[in-house]
């Protein structure tokens, strides 16, 4: 199936590249964003400006990429909006809580709209290249309907079940593990530096032996070099994801003791003015605890 009419809500750094790839694949994309400048940027690349959220939902499928639970709740879980929608499926590609996914699924079902959760792995350049990894969950019928869109935006779809919350759980678990990896690298680099070993040498050895791959080579080099700008994923978003993991854990009675340590470390970093930096800047907290120079 191709040539679908797609409503797209949320044109942040990720959404802009995703829209461009949907247009490139031959879909008609009506976009809505609170900031008109972002709309103008993607219209210049072939998208159409939606005349409000209702127009974005008067399509075959809606894709949304908003910042957090509050934005989704305020903008998209409006019964009046859903009642007037013609879209058969809403694909929420943001990282949101499991609880919100469950509420959204139930509310969409009341209005006969399929709801798919499809959070992604990848930063803005990956979205621009159409190489996202898409973690998807929803009914088989809804997933089949949006498969052409996933093909345009991503390199692979990872199915996680029929309940949308399962995909959000997988994404939250993944980001929790990433945060743990950054914190562990920060502590290891602080230990090395305090004993006369250059952190860059340590990370080069680790990423070339025991821990190959993009996380230890990429974030590891950022930690070792104390290179936290430009931010690919800002610190407040990292705190949001740690909080999502703690909330999901509490709801399922799963203790996450590292999560509490991470939450305090992210709050420490924010209190020291690092909110505009990459979430790898949480490594500065480990350095302060170790008494290493700024």
Q: Which residues are catalytic, by number?
A: 171
CA 53 to chain centre: 22
Find the length of the chain.
294
Could you please report the per-residue DSSP string of 62-85?
A: EEE--SSHHHHHHHH--HHHHHT-
Closest CA to 156 of 123, 130, 134, 128: 134
Of all helices (H) and strands (E), which one includes residue 29? strand 28-32
Q: E strands of 52-168, at which residues? A: 61-64, 89-92, 114-117, 120-121, 132-136, 154-159
**Contact indicator for 69, 97 with CB cutoff of 8 Å:** yes
Residue with tokens 């802009």: 16
CA-to-CA separations, 190 to 177, 203, 225, 293, in angstroms, rounded: 20, 12, 12, 11
**Contact indicator for 222, 199 with CB cutoff of 8 Å:** no
Return all residues near 121 (Cβ < 8 A) that are at least 6 apart: 132, 133, 135, 171, 174
Give the Cβ contact number of residue 277 at 10 Å: 19
Residue with tokens 């869109």: 149
């Amino acid at each position: 199936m191709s040539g679908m009419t797609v409503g797209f809500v949320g044109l942040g750094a990720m959404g802009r590249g995703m829209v461009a790839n949907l247009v490139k694949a031959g879909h008609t994309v009506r976009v809505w964003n609170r900031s008109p400048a972002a709309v103008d940027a993607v219209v210049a690349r072939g998208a159409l400006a939606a005349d409000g959220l209702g127009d974005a939902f008067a399509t075959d499928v809606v894709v949304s990429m908003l910042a957090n639970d509050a934005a989704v709740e305020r903008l998209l879980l409006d019964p009046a909006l859903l009642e007037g929608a013609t879209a058969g499926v809403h694909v929420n590609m943001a990282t949101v809580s499991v609880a919100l996914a469950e509420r959204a699924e139930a509310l969409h079902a009341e209005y006969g709209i399929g709801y798919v959760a499809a959070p992604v792995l990848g930063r803005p350049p990956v979205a621009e290249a159409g190489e996202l990894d898409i973690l998807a969950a929803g009914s088989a019928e809804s997933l089949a309907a949006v498969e052409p869109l996933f093909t345009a935006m991503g390199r692979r779809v990872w199915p996680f079940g029929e309940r949308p919350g399962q995909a959000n759980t997988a994404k939250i678990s993944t980001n929790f593990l990433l945060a743990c990896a950054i914190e562990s690298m920060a502590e290891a680099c602080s230990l090395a530096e305090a004993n006369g070993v250059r952190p860059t040498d340590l990370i080069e050895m680790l990423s070339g032996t025991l821990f190959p791959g993009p996380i230890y080579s990429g974030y590891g080099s950022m930690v070792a070099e104390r290179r936290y700008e430009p931010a690919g994923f800002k610190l407040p978003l990292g705190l949001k994801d740690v909080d999502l993991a703690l909330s999901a854990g509490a709801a399922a009675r799963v203790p996450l003791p590292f999560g509490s340590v991470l939450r305090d470390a992210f709050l420490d970093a924010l209190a020291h003015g690092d909110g505009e930096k990459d979430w790898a800047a949480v490594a500065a907290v480990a350095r302060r605890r170790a008494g290493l120079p700024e």
